[in-house]
Structure 1
Amino acid sequence: MGFKLTIEKFDEHLEALRQEYKVYAPVILKGKGTFADTDTIRYKEIKSIREVEFKRKSSFSPKEIIIPITQTLFYFTENDCVEPKEDDKKILIFLRSCDIHAMIRLDEIYLRNGNEDYYYKVLRDKIKFVLMGCSESFENCFCASMGSNKTEDYDMYTRIQDHEVFVNCKSEELMNYFNIDKINQVEVSPEFVEANEIVVTIPENLDQRVFKSKMWDEYSSRCIACGRCNFVCGTCSCFTMQDIFYKENKNLGERRRVWASCHVDGYSDMAGGHGFRKDKKDRMRFKVMHKVYDFKKRAGYHMCIGCGRCDDICPEYISFSNCINKLNTAMDEVE
């Protein structure tokens, strides 16, 4: 059972929520697109549900909220280290089903991979999910093939219809912010995509023999190692470390972790000048196999969620879904 409210009434409750929560959602940023006079859709803090973009897929994943692009881990002096002061507010994020699945994969990497990542956990423990339904598939999506088109891991579901907000709230904590009369109670069920135009098939016999396939050769020239596919991906989680020293005193500074990319030059370089995966085809192979082979061997499910953002952003029109489908022919080749 759920309930419905006018947009104005919902925003009143949202304002009450915002006293204790930072509320993030995909919003349209006018004129902020890659090209002149184009828009982009990114996650920003909102004050009204009118700001939420329900009809189009966000250009970037919401992972930058929980894994900041640049994050200060601690400040250091000659004698001491001090952690940055944390914001006391909790976090509410509007997410589609695939992005909730992406968060589960990040949990696997940062919380269940041997040691809990302290900085990730501090933010993760504050977060609640608001599910955004998908009435139809977006361009380049293949979430149904990856099993991320549906989820029950949400705290609240919302959709706007005819100037009303329909809500299904599973969290008692969030429900306390809504004073609902029985006349407003209605049946509310999430909308999920059942199928996509793009269908991806991962070969059952996929193994490391595919490393020797000729399918990777084309990416030596096609890929330009910009790393955009990694940065918009909801499950890519690699970072590098930086120590910043202040000009006023070279013994004072801060340590940061910053997003990194397995496609970008220098990512796998080691002391002495040795580097793994110098050729761009090797980087593509590494990423693809990690998304649909290596991660599954450890976690039991695929890393890729099929959101299609990598296809959306690639300046060389490299299709990740096509690459995965080529694995079937590649395995026949090495067989």
Structure 2
Amino acid sequence: MGFKLTVEDFNQFLSSVSKDYKVYAPKVLEGKGTFSDTDVVRYSEIEDVREIEFKTKSAFSYKEVLLPITQTLFYFTEDQWIEPKKEEKGALILLRSCDMHSLRRIDDIYLRNGFEDPYYKALREKVKFVLIGCEKSFDNCFCVSMGTNKTDEHDAYIKVDGDMVYFDVKDAAIEQYFADLSKEEVEITLDFVEENQTKVNIPANLDLKVMNSSMWKEYSERCIACGRCNFVCPTCTCFTMQDIFYKDNEKSGERRRVWASCQVDGYTNMAGGHSFRLDKGQRMRFKVLHKVYDYKKRWGYHMCVGCGRCDDICPEYISFSNCINKLEKGMEEVE
């Protein structure tokens, strides 16, 4: 059911729904950019619809709500352990179509990969998703090529036009918060991008022979192994474990899981000092083939959703989309 209501009335909805859900959306964080006098668009809690940034792609994805950068799994002492208290409120997340598709990838890894992660599941079960339409393509986006420019898996849809908010509700749990608000029922057309300036072509004959291509040598020299591409990616899910021991009692502490990256030093370290993929080009090769080759062989669709954030964030101006487009010549070379 679609509603048309004023910004003020919609803010009443936000006030009401915030009693049960924390509301997250792309928001301009002033002074939080790369430098002290720059801003960044990142996911944060909102209380007013006017805080939502609709015109700019967020630099980071929504995944840090579902997968906290640092998450305490349990506290321990010498002879016992206890899990932290669970968050009572759910979450209402506003996101775009590509990010909505990325959710399926995260669910694959944490819920359908032979084991259900209890920490992720506890958060995931209490989340609702509100789709933000894309009237135009942003720089470096290639969602059309990846088939992620459209979705119908959201719980609601939002569009703001001047002082009016258009909100299409599919979920009954969300719809109940509109019962006492002044609103007009309307038909709402969802905005989806039909074409990107950036396009990618994944060769139909792609296979592991491309690992022997010389194309990866370029990235051995250019990549600085900062891992930014992984951290902004909505489908990267890797983490490492840390045991933190308290200074006042070295036999007690907490176990945390923390985001990790296949691009950074130390990710593949093993006992005895052994390590795989020391060369940065090998790390790039691993990431690319995971995103557009082996994941599809396992799940039936590519891991990459074409949001282009990796291209946006790379300090060395390495383009992931260009790397994908080099795979065709890479296959010609090895064959």
| Structure-2 separation of matches of 1:333 and 1:221 | 21
2:234 aligned counterpart, secondary structure: coil
Residue 275 of structure 2: aligned partner = 275
Q: Is the 8 A contact 2:4 2:183 kept in 1?
A: no
**Alignment deviations for residues 185-244 of structure 1 (CA, whole Å, 9 cap, x no partner):** 111121000110011010111110000000000111100000000000000000000001
| Structure-2 separation of matches of 1:77 and 1:53 | 44
**Alignment deviations for residues 239-271 of structure 1 (CA, whole Å, 9 cap, x no partner):** 000001111111111000000000000100111
Partner amino acid, structure 2, of 1:203: P
Residue 231 of structure 1: aligned partner = 231
Residue 159 of structure 1: aligned partner = 159
Residue 250 of structure 2: aligned partner = 250
Residue 120 of structure 1: aligned partner = 120
Residue 82 of structure 1: aligned partner = 82
Where does structure 1 differ by over 6 angstroms across 4 or more consecutive aligned residues? 180-183
| Structure-1 separation of matches of 2:183 and 2:177 | 18
**Alignment deviations for residues 16-59 of structure 1 (CA, whole Å, 9 cap, x no partner):** 10011000001001121113421100100111111000111000
| Structure-2 separation of matches of 1:304 and 1:49 | 30
Q: 1:173 to 1:272 in 2, by over 3 A?
A: same
* CA root-mean-square deviation: 1.1
Residue 327 of structure 1: aligned partner = 327
1:282 aligned counterpart, secondary structure: helix
Residue 170 of structure 1: aligned partner = 170
**Gapped runs of 5+ residues in structure 1?**
none
**Alignment deviations for residues 103-143 of structure 1 (CA, whole Å, 9 cap, x no partner):** 11100111001101111101000110000000000000000
2:177 aligned counterpart, secondary structure: coil
State the percentage of identical aligned residues. 64
Residue 53 of structure 1: aligned partner = 53
| Structure-2 separation of matches of 1:232 and 1:18 | 27
2:3 pairs with 1:17: no
Q: How does 1:96-107 map to 2 (within 5 A)?
A: 96-107=96-107
Question: What TM-score does the superposition give when structure 1 sets the normalisation length?
Answer: 0.98
2:100 aligned counterpart, secondary structure: helix
The number of residue pairs the alignment matches comes to 335
**Gapped runs of 5+ residues in structure 2?**
none
| Structure-1 separation of matches of 2:187 and 2:181 | 14
1:159 aligned counterpart, secondary structure: strand
| Structure-1 separation of matches of 2:100 and 2:328 | 28
Q: CA deviation at 1:162?
A: 2.2
1:176 aligned counterpart, secondary structure: helix
1:38 aligned counterpart, secondary structure: coil
Q: 1:261 to 1:183 in 2, by over 3 A?
A: closer
Partner amino acid, structure 2, of 1:210: V
Question: What TM-score does the superposition give when structure 2 sets the normalisation length?
Answer: 0.98
